[in-house]
Structure 1
């Protein structure tokens, strides 16, 4: 399994617009066969700071995710309201693999 954490900061005053646009990606991604988990987390100390926690079955599943219409539409909508570039950090789920989950 592969975990991807994406940090996103939006311009002040655009958090609601971000969530509206990101719902498209959230709903679509959770239906993808290679997606195990997809959470949108908001920093309680900064309403414009979000972390997206994504778990996929493989790196290939992440690649397929980026080709989907819901992902591309979300990116199209959020790019103009971002306060800076999205940053991504990848992790392997070692214990989940070890436990067979």
Structure 2
């Protein structure tokens, strides 16, 4: 199992553009057989700061995800409007609903 939180900061005047582009990835990812959870969150104090909570069945499932057309299209569209690089932090599950689904 692979769990990661991705931090994405968007240029403030491009938030709507980001949301439209990221929806492509959101919809496609939730249909992938290797994806268990994919949540997009916004910082309530910084409307241009987003976090994506992702749970995949394996490292291989994450690699498959990165090769999908929806992921690649999303990255192509959002990279120019970010304030910097996306950052990732990985986690081990302790108590989580999706553990029963794995």
Distance 2:52 2:86 in 1: 10
Structure 2 counterpart of 1:68: 68
Structure 2: gaps (5+ residues) = none
Distance 1:90 1:36 in 2: 15
1:15-94 alignment, distance < 5 Å: 15-94=15-94
Matched residues, number: 99
Could you list the structure 1 runs, at least 4 aligned residues long, displaced by more than 2 angstroms after superposition.
none
What SS does structure 2 have at the residue aligned with 1:64?
Answer: helix
Distance 1:56 1:64 in 2: 10
Structure 1: gaps (5+ residues) = none
CA RMSD of aligned residues (A): 1.4
Structure 1 counterpart of 2:11: 11
What SS does structure 1 have at the residue aligned with 2:24?
Answer: helix
Deviation at 1:92, TM superposition (A): 2.3
Distance 1:63 1:94 in 2: 23
